Structure 1
Amino acid sequence: MSLDLVRIAEQLRAHAWVNDARCGHAGADAVGIVLALSSAGIQALCQHGRAQLLDSLQQATGCAGNVITWRLFDALPPSATALQINAWLQSPLPREALLLEETMHADAWTLALRVPVDLAYFPGHFPNAPVLPGVAQIEWALALAAPRLGTPLRCHTMEALKFQQLLRPGDRVDLRLQHDAARNKLHFAYRYGEKAFSSGRLAWSANA
């Protein structure tokens, strides 16, 4: 029996966890739904993980057991076209942070980021309580610093690493990047207001 995705999307839009839902094609004969989660939906995602959240939504809409491709967002542009929706459904889960804005002051950059709610790392870290891995935070710092500060994409040593608070799906965070050229080190810090998430120094010489 074919799925009535339009009806399912309408039911999802009435759910407390969902702000918006659009249906589309995930390639070949595959079908999919793009969801914009509400704050309650993001909270449910953080508490239970992606698989359990989607299972609950499928149960609520009467499509449990059907194969549907899902993509999760914290917001959807109202003007999203069918082609955009299909492209989202057919693309892999993201591995990069969402860059909201960036500023440079003196020799340091501050980047306003959002952690994607559907980040590829979350199903494995951890399935029922998604947390941004420390290694991903370091990879983001290196990748975002390289085009702005001319630093390498890889480091040899890591110093004074501190992981103080968890970064979860949908979190907003500011990443500060500063290159100490004299000592050949990259200083990074993830903060939001008074809340410190993580920080450290990345060096490119074992003797640095």
Structure 2
Amino acid sequence: MSLDLAHIARRLRTHPWVDDAQCGDAAGTPGALVALTREGVDALCRQGRQLVADTLQQHVGASLIFRLFDDMPSLVSASQIDALLQAPLPRDALLEHEHERDGAWTLALRIPLDLIYFPGHFPKAPVLPGAVQVAWALSMASPRLGTPVRCTVMEALKFQQLLRPGDRVELCFHHDPLRRKLHFAYRHGEQAYSSGRLAWSAAS
């Protein structure tokens, strides 16, 4: 007996954690794109993805593959819904806008709710790993500054506040070519999240 996906989507929208939902085919398994309310995002940050998924499955009485969002993507067809359900979880931050001034870049980023690193770090209290923050700084600086995508030395690393699902943050960086160093910082207004200097040898 096939599931009524339209009914499941309507049922999902009645849960206080769900702002919107669209259902489709996740490679042979029923799936749902779910835009979470603020309450839903709080539950995700406090208790992890598995609890959110289990709670929503109990609510609709069906086993589903979930993709989680803070804003529902603009989708116009069932094939687009299916494609997003079948796509791999994101590995990168969402770039909202950027600007450069005198060689210093500022990138406005949003941390996806469904980032692939969250279930492993940590399952019940998702936090963006420090290693990912460093890797993002290197990968985003490289096409803009011509710097390497890998470093040989990390200096003065500071991780002051946790980055969680759905957070918005500015990544700021600039290059010191004489010392072969990339200075980076994640911040939001006056709030500092992390910072450091990434260096490489002349042979890099």
Alignment of 1:77-88 (within 5 A): 77-88=73-84
Q: In structure 2, what is the equivalent of residue 7 of structure 1?
A: 7
In the alignment, structure 1 segments of 5+ residues that lack a partner are none
Equivalent residue, structure 2, for 1:41: 40
1:16 aligned residue: 16
Deviations 1:119-169 (A, max 9, x none): 000000000000000000001001100000000010000000000000000
Query: Which residues in structure 2 correspond to 1:171-190 (within 5 Å)?
Result: 171-190=167-186
Compute the TM-score of the two structures, normalised by the length of structure 2.
0.95
1:91: which partner in 2?
A: 87
152-161 or 85-94: bigger deviation? 85-94
Q: Residue 56 in 1 paired to residue 83 in 2?
A: no
Q: Displacement of 1:15 after TM fit?
A: 1.3
User: How far 1:110 moved relative to its partner?
Assistant: 0.1
Matched residue of 1:2: which SS?
Answer: coil
- Residues 1:107 and 2:67 aligned together: no
Structure-2 separation of matches of 1:157 and 1:163: 17
Confirm or deny: 8 A CA contact 2:41 2:165 kept in the other structure.
Answer: yes
* 73-82 vs 170-179, greater mean Cα deviation: 73-82
Calculate the aligned-residue CA RMSD, in Å: 1.2
- The counterpart of 2:113, out of the listed 93, 106, 117, is 117
Given the two structures, how large is their TM-score scaled by the length of structure 1? 0.94
Q: Secondary structure at the match of 1:167?
A: coil
CA distance in 2, matches of 1:169, 1:33: 19
Distance 1:163 1:201 in 2: 13
Contact map agreement 2:152 2:199 (CA 8 A) in 1: yes
Deviation at 1:82, TM superposition (A): 2.0
Would you say 1:167 and 2:166 are equivalent positions? Answer: no
Letter in 1 for 2:42: Q
Unmatched 5+ stretches in structure 2? none
* SS of residue in 2 equivalent to 1:20: strand
Distance 1:162 1:175 in 2: 14
In 1, the alpha carbon distance for the partners of 2:200 and 2:74 equals 45
- Provide the C-alpha distance between the structure 1 equivalents of 2:161 and 2:188, rounded to a whole number of angstroms: 11
Q: 2:138 aligns with which of 133, 138, 142?
A: 142
